[in-house]
């Protein structure tokens, strides 16, 4: 019986760190600054923090829709680049532009026409006696400015994802680092009214995000224009938005499930939070604190997912199928080990972070316990996320759709719906019960990856 190793050699981990580290650094810095942003808004008051949190849940659906929309063309980008096909990469870049413009127009209309109604879904009386109208007003003020950053963010995602898939991870990382510090500085100035400017509260936080998005896009666009020799696939990319029909059909067939998956998954997670919000506005506040802090630690499996997509995608495109299987196995093992270590760290840090917020004691206590639940889930998250990206980079997007978003809507949401509306179960047991369902995903992921149905060269010939 053939024995498989889950541990790579020194050269393997050197390559892993080369791909993962820039993505990890950018994600850590971005989420750390997001945590600082959240802390600044949290100093204004619980209602304002909750209003911003609700809007960010809605924008999360847009962000994930972009991520999913870029993923389909991105599969082909990585494999075209692995084959040395610059024209193919250029065409996939244009396909991403179509996705970005489409998502921007669609979500702008939805939020413009239905923003108030969507925010109202999360506003419920709880035991802390928080002001629901103040939360609504804060959320609407924040939303109207945040809508202005949606197009710059879409264009930035088109450029950054293409650069990463073609091996250029440093430029998006540097642009992202600069942007998050710009965001941090302007948050401080505009939220609290420094340098002679009026204190703008949550509106100032949204303006700071807009400035940061424009900065990040500007850095990437200008640098790639001035260094065209390094990025030949961008030469003439804007002269036409035409994509060859055959490739467009391939991208649509492969990418539509990914786009639908991210859209439904993010909408499902937002719907989960809406079910949790029925236990009171203080739950929304605690979820905001815990999710913002958790995202800092979640960078571990987010960056490993990108690493799996890039390394395995390029190996599949180059036709090194057996090597792709071997390295994927080791990448999954490394993801679980890394996330376990990060989860342990998270347990010890959890009691400290909520104390930094200007909010009610019951909100802080609930946030700590939610963070402990997230820490316990870290190894499972690492495994399922690596399995998801393994299946995705081999073009098995229908399977990833069933594995990811269909699972949320068919399994998790019905359980949360029943527990939140038909029982008096407190919020913590409810969250534990819903999270424990991911054990089913782990078993499914194991068998799907072991089946090797994802081992495909999509650009052969």
Report how far residue 176's alpha carbon sits from residue 171's, in angstroms, rounded to the nearest whole number.
Answer: 8
Q: What percent of the chain has pLDDT over 90?
A: 36
Domain extent listing, the chain = 10-450
Chain position carrying tokens 């063309």: 73
pLDDT at 461: 53
Whether residue 202 is predicted with pLDDT greater than 50 in this model: the reply is yes
* Cα 316 to chain centroid, rounded: 25
pLDDT at 128: 58
Report how far residue 131's alpha carbon sits from residue 47's, in angstroms, rounded to the nearest whole number.
Answer: 7
Q: Tens digit of pLDDT for each residue in 219-270?
A: 999 998 888 878 877 777 788 888 888 888 888 888 887 788 888 888 998 9
Average confidence (pLDDT) over 164-180: 84
pLDDT at 422: 93
pLDDT at 305: 86
Average confidence (pLDDT) over 14-38: 80
Whether residue 82 is predicted with pLDDT greater than 50 in this model: the reply is yes
Q: What percent of the chain has pLDDT over 70?
A: 97
Q: Tens digit of pLDDT for each residue in 335-368?
A: 999 999 999 999 999 999 888 888 888 889 999 9
Q: Tens digit of pLDDT for each residue in 276-305?
A: 999 888 898 899 899 888 888 888 888 888
Report how far residue 162's alpha carbon sits from residue 174's, in angstroms, rounded to the nearest whole number.
Answer: 15
Mean pLDDT of the chain: 87
Average confidence (pLDDT) over 205-218: 93
> Where does the pLDDT of residue 1 fall: very low under 50, low under 70, confident under 90, or very high at 90 and above?
very low
Q: Tens digit of pLDDT for each residue in 300-340?
A: 888 888 888 888 888 887 778 888 888 888 999 999 999 99
Whether residue 93 is predicted with pLDDT greater than 70 in this model: the reply is yes
Nearest CA among 330, 264, 269 for reference residue 298 = 269
Report how far residue 202's alpha carbon sits from residue 288's, in angstroms, rounded to the nearest whole number.
Answer: 15
Q: Angle formed by the axes of helices 201-226 and 132-146, to 10°?
A: 20
Report how far residue 104's alpha carbon sits from residue 147's, in angstroms, rounded to the nearest whole number.
Answer: 9
pLDDT at 126: 64
What are the strands, taking DSSP E only, across 154-307? none
Chain position carrying tokens 């990890």: 24
pLDDT at 148: 95
Whether residue 459 is predicted with pLDDT greater than 80 in this model: the reply is no
The per-residue b/e assignment along 109-133, b for 16 or more CB within 10 angstroms, e otherwise, is: eebeeebeebbeebbbebebebebe
Report how far residue 122's alpha carbon sits from residue 457's, in angstroms, rounded to the nearest whole number.
Answer: 45
Report how far residue 164's alpha carbon sits from residue 71's, in angstroms, rounded to the nearest whole number.
Answer: 12
Q: Tens digit of pLDDT for each residue in 380-430?
A: 999 998 988 888 887 777 787 788 788 999 999 999 999 999 999 999 999
């Amino acid at each position: 019986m053939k024995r498989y190793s889950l541990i790579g050699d020194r050269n393997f981990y050197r390559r892993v760190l080369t791909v993962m580290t820039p993505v990890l650094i950018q994600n850590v810095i971005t989420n750390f600054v997001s945590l600082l942003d959240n802390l600044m808004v949290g100093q204004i008051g619980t209602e304002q923090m909750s209003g911003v949190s609700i809007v960010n849940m809605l924008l999360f659906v847009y962000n994930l829709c972009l991520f999913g929309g870029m993923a389909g063309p991105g599969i082909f980008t990585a494999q075209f680049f692995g084959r040395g096909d610059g024209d193919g990469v250029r065409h996939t870049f244009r396909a991403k532009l179509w996705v970005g413009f489409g998502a921007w127009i669609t979500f702008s209309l939805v939020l413009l026409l239905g923003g108030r109604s969507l925010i109202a879904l999360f506003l419920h009386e709880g035991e802390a006696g928080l002001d629901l109208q103040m939360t609504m007003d804060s959320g609407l003020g924040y939303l109207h400015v945040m809508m202005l950053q949606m197009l710059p963010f879409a264009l930035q995602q088109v450029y950054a994802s293409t650069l990463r898939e073609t091996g250029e991870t440093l430029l998006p990382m540097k642009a992202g680092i600069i942007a998050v510090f710009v965001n941090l500085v302007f948050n401080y100035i505009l939220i609290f009214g420094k340098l002679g400017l009026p204190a703008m509260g949550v509106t100032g936080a949204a303006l700071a995000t807009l400035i940061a998005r424009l900065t990040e896009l500007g850095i990437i666009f200008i640098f790639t224009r001035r260094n065209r020799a390094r990025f030949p696939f961008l030469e003439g990319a804007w002269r036409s938005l035409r994509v060859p029909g055959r490739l467009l059909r391939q991208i649509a067939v492969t990418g539509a499930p990914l786009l639908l998956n991210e859209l439904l998954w993010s909408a499902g997670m937002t719907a989960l939070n809406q079910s949790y919000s029925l236990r009171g506005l203080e739950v929304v506040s605690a979820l905001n604190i815990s999710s913002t802090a958790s995202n800092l630690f979640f960078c571990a499996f987010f960056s490993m997912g990108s690493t799996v997509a890039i390394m395995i995608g390029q190996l599949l495109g180059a036709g090194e199928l057996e090597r792709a299987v071997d390295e994927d196995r080791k990448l999954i093992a490394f993801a679980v080990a890394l996330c376990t270590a990060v989860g342990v760290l998270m347990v010890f840090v959890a009691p400290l972070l909520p104390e930094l917020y200007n909010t009610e004691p019951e909100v802080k206590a609930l946030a700590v316990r939610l963070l402990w639940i997230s820490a316990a889930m870290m190894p499972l998250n690492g495994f399922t996320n690596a399995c998801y990206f393994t299946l995705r980079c081999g073009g098995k997007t229908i399977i990833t759709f069933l594995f990811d978003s269909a699972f949320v809507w068919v399994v998790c949401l019905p359980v949360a719906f029943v527990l939140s509306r038909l029982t008096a179960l407190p919020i913590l047991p409810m969250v534990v019960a819903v999270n424990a369902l991911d054990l089913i995903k782990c078993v499914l992921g194991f068998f799907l990856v072991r089946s090797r149905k994802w081992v495909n060269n999509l650009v052969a010939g």
